[in-house]
Structure 1
Amino acid sequence: MELTLDELRSVAGFAVACARTVLPLVEEVLPDDDRPRAAIDAAAAFADGGPRTRAMRDTAWAAGRAAREAGNPVAEQAARAAMAAAGAGYLHPLADATQVRHVVGAGAHAIRARELRGEEVGVAAVADLADPVVGTVLRRYPAAPDGGERVGELVRELDAAVRAVGS
């Protein structure tokens, strides 16, 4: 399987769009913690045409630490969305269902953050953030695997919805 740099940028752009919707939720709880924002910014720089850099990986790990340290389930999920956005540009061209989470993970965590806040967010609204290229990329992979509790359910729902984009 091949993935072009433009396809990876589309995937990262979708992940950034998803994560940005919940960045304020983590910043409310952790106003002095810039790690989630830095992760989104690094992913956005790549999505906007910049190179894939070590900063994407480093900020992804840092956003993951922010999630673990958040002490608040909403902020944790929002920080995980940022982490997933920074990792999206490193989607592997392997026909492995676990790779699907790299594509839709930021969206799944964003939805979960809003659910924990008591908001209703439809999967279709998040899938609408994807351009047709993201749907084309997802259709090359097997369907998302079982497991993963509520976020895993959301990954599978988003996987199905985004696969339909542009088909």
Structure 2
Amino acid sequence: MTGNVTLSMDDLRAVTAFAAVSAAEVLEIFEASHPSDSRPRDAIDIARTFAQGARRTKLLRDAAWNALKAAQQCQDADASQAARAAMCTASAAYLHPLARSTQVRHILGAAAHAVHAAELAAGDAADVATHLEHAARYANPTVIDVLCRYPLAPPGGGRVGELLRILDRALRTERQIGPQTID
């Protein structure tokens, strides 16, 4: 796939809303260890405001950068992943209309980071398939339609990249994620 993808503002709002719900699921992981740091929450809130009809402004970009800085300052991996989910949420509004596999990160990045945060927080007892299934349920038909306009998620990216590809395959084919899809 080469060229451009057609995206409407409604498409961007749907993708951003999906990302916000995904990241909000694990926000408490970050806030439990960093109760006075509002940067991830701010990123999610600003993204939600956009998803509900506000203009796409520099505030979204600034919120994404601030959430990334919060993630980078974390000592604990689960909180860092939760903050990265928030960063991806604010970034989702800037999904580019380029038919490149890397753009799938704008669509599914928040969900993949959120699943990884939950996985890390749960430790060995993590039921990853359940977390993936839960994340996939938030993807409405518009999100899936937008996803299908792009090539498959790219290789690499460590555990988050692996989770991204599992979600990508599941949402493109059938909305069922089971233990057999976990590589």
The TM-score bracket by the shorter chain reads over 0.9
Q: Please say if residues 29 and 121 of structure 2, whose CA atoms lie closer than 8 Å, have aligned partners that are also in contact.
A: no
Which residue number corresponds to residue 120 of structure 1? 127
Q: Please say if residues 135 and 165 of structure 1, whose CA atoms lie closer than 8 Å, have aligned partners that are also in contact.
A: no
Whole-angstrom CA distance in 2 between matches of 1:30 and 1:133: 34
Write out per-residue CA displacement over residues 92-135 of structure 1, whole angstroms, 9 at most, x where no aligned residue. 00000000000000000000001111232432221110110000
Of 143, 149, 159, the residue aligned with 2:158 is 149
Of 53, 60, 71, the residue aligned with 1:56 is 60
Whole-angstrom CA distance in 2 between matches of 1:164 and 1:76: 30
Q: Does 1:70 align with 2:78?
A: no
Whole-angstrom CA distance in 2 between matches of 1:85 and 1:52: 13
**Looking at CA atoms only, which structure, 1 or 2, has the larger radius of gyration?**
2
Whole-angstrom CA distance in 1 between matches of 2:83 and 2:56: 21
List gaps (5 residues or longer) in structure 2.
176-183
TM-aligned CA deviation for residue 161 of structure 1: 1.9
Whole-angstrom CA distance in 2 between matches of 1:164 and 1:88: 22
List gaps (5 residues or longer) in structure 1.
none
Q: Please say if residues 114 and 120 of structure 1, whose CA atoms lie closer than 8 Å, have aligned partners that are also in contact.
A: no
Give the letter for the 1:149 counterpart: G
Write out per-residue CA displacement over residues 52-89 of structure 1, whole angstroms, 9 at most, x where no aligned residue. 11111000000000000011101000000000000001
Query: Alignment length, in residue pairs?
Result: 166
Q: Please say if residues 64 and 79 of structure 1, whose CA atoms lie closer than 8 Å, have aligned partners that are also in contact.
A: yes
Which residue number corresponds to residue 102 of structure 2? 98
Whole-angstrom CA distance in 2 between matches of 1:141 and 1:164: 14
Whole-angstrom CA distance in 1 between matches of 2:173 and 2:27: 27
- Report the aligned-residue RMSD: 1.2
Give the letter for the 1:108 counterpart: A
Whole-angstrom CA distance in 2 between matches of 1:163 and 1:8: 18
TM-score under structure 1 length normalisation: 0.96
Whole-angstrom CA distance in 2 between matches of 1:40 and 1:164: 28
Which residue number corresponds to residue 6 of structure 1? 10
Identity, % of aligned pairs? 51
Which residue number corresponds to residue 137 of structure 1? 146
Of 9, 18, 23, the residue aligned with 1:19 is 23
Of 88, 92, 96, the residue aligned with 2:92 is 88
TM-aligned CA deviation for residue 162 of structure 1: 2.3
